[in-house]
Amino acid sequence: MGKTNGTLSNSRWLFLLLLFLSIFLFLFLKEEETALDRNEEIGKKEARIPQDQCAAFCPARQDQLIKHHGGDLIDTNYLVKTVEKERDNFHKMLKENYGEESFKSMWIDKETNQVVGNRAIFSANMESDVSYKKLKRKLQLKALRVQIALMEDKKNIGGCDCTETSVSSSSRRGRRILNSEKTIVLPEVSDYFERFVWSTGGHSAAAAHGNLFNESYTSYLESSAKDAFRAIGIEFIGRNYAMGGMDSAPQLALCNEAVYGVDADVISWDFGMTDGQAHWKTNLYANRIGVHKNRPAHVSLNMAGRQMKGRVLELQKAESDGVPSLYLKPEIQDKITEGVPDVYG
């Protein structure tokens, strides 16, 4: 017996998840001053707290946040360590699911002895690598928005200014008041302060026809990536909008916001079978993503085959026009797919 269709189709989400986990390790190598507007207020502000209770409220609120998130999300070092921990947990899960030997054959580069994943996708122009840098920047901004949301919350939560300078001098006295004299009801803590949306575009194979909907690679990507993103305050959402028999243009390309959502951060292309030799469709699909409201990255999957060279050329044209255009490297996909153990049954 050979590998099942479900196993092969779902192998793609594995290296995509490793990519995102690896990118987060580079989020804070450089400090950036960024002014950002929050699109919406996350979490409800409770009733105003009397000023004489702020000295007790603020340290209690900080303790609540740290307990809920496992640490201080405003602390960059904590964010990096958290992502490293989630990456290690993911590797552990892969070893348990596939076995140690299959894990090595699927995921370990024999030359470097490193886990494949950090560079599973490449910019259309690999020399400049500009699209990969733009994707990293988008992820950086997501993490920065989480920190900004938390800092804004500290400045005015229930009428209290809980910034470090205003609380530090009275925190010890405040804890004493909270423990011995007053009972303060703390507001609920949100799990998320930002979201990252992956929208899948493609034909029947991408839609997972022949499998259950929750067996699509988009569903596996979401279910496996969400814990790592949640750990740093970001909600990861995977949307499977692939449709059997559809090609990428003109309908889907021209209506991408209506189909994939105005908040999409990545829109994928998996139309190799239906687009065929019509490379103009690849170009139109990519360029329409370039005028999308949320400036998503365009990631092409399953590019291998006789048409790959022409498709990459179209992506390079779109990239030169400013569209972040990336594609999954076939050699890495082949290595992982070939390493999937046979399933009997």
pLDDT over threshold 50, residue 319: yes
Of 79-88, 115-124, 253-262, which gets the smallest average pLDDT?
Answer: 115-124
pLDDT over threshold 60, residue 83: yes
Q: What is the pLDDT of residues 265-296, one digit of tens each?
A: 999 999 999 999 999 999 999 999 999 999 99
Give pLDDT, residue 332. Answer: 87
pLDDT over threshold 60, residue 174: no
Residue 108: pLDDT band (50, 70, 90) is: confident
Give pLDDT, residue 135. Answer: 94
Q: Cβ atoms within 10 A of the Cβ of 213, count?
A: 11
pLDDT over threshold 50, residue 144: yes
Which one is predicted more confidently, 315 or 55? Answer: 315
What integer is the mean pLDDT of 51-67? 90
Percent residues over pLDDT 90 in the chain: 58
Helix 217-230 and helix 76-98: axis angle, to 10°?
140
Which one is predicted more confidently, 19 or 117? Answer: 117
Token couple for 14: 């594995």
Q: What is the pLDDT of residues 193-212, one digit of tens each?
A: 999 999 999 999 999 999 99
Give pLDDT, residue 113. Answer: 86
pLDDT over threshold 50, residue 172: no
Of 66-70, 82-86, 160-164, 321-325, which gets the smallest average pLDDT?
Answer: 160-164
Which one is predicted more confidently, 213 or 11? Answer: 213
Output the 3-class SS for the chain.
Answer: CCCCHHHHHHHHHHHHHHHHHHHHCCCCCCCCCCCCCCCCCCCCCCCCCCHHHHHHHHHHHHHHHHHHHCCCCCCHHHHHHHHHHHHHHHHHHHHHHHCHHHHHHHHECCCCCCECCCCCEEECCCCCCHHHHHHHHHHHHHHHHHHHHHHHHHHCECCECCCHHHHHCCHHHHHHHHHHCCCCCCCCCCCCCEEEEEEECECHHHHCCCCCHHHCHHHHHHHHHHHHHHCCCEEEEEEECCCCCCCCCCHHHHCHHHHHCCCCCEEEEECHHHHCCCHHHHHHHHHHHHCCCCCCEEEECCCCCCCHHHHHHHHHHHHHCCCCEEEECHHHHHHHHHHCCCCCC
Average pLDDT of the chain, as a whole number = 84
pTM score of the predicted model: 0.82
pLDDT over threshold 90, residue 48: no
Residue 186: pLDDT band (50, 70, 90) is: confident
Residue 43: pLDDT band (50, 70, 90) is: very low
Q: What is the pLDDT of residues 220-253, one digit of tens each?
A: 999 989 999 999 999 999 999 999 999 999 999 9
Give pLDDT, residue 176. Answer: 43
Which one is predicted more confidently, 221 or 172? Answer: 221
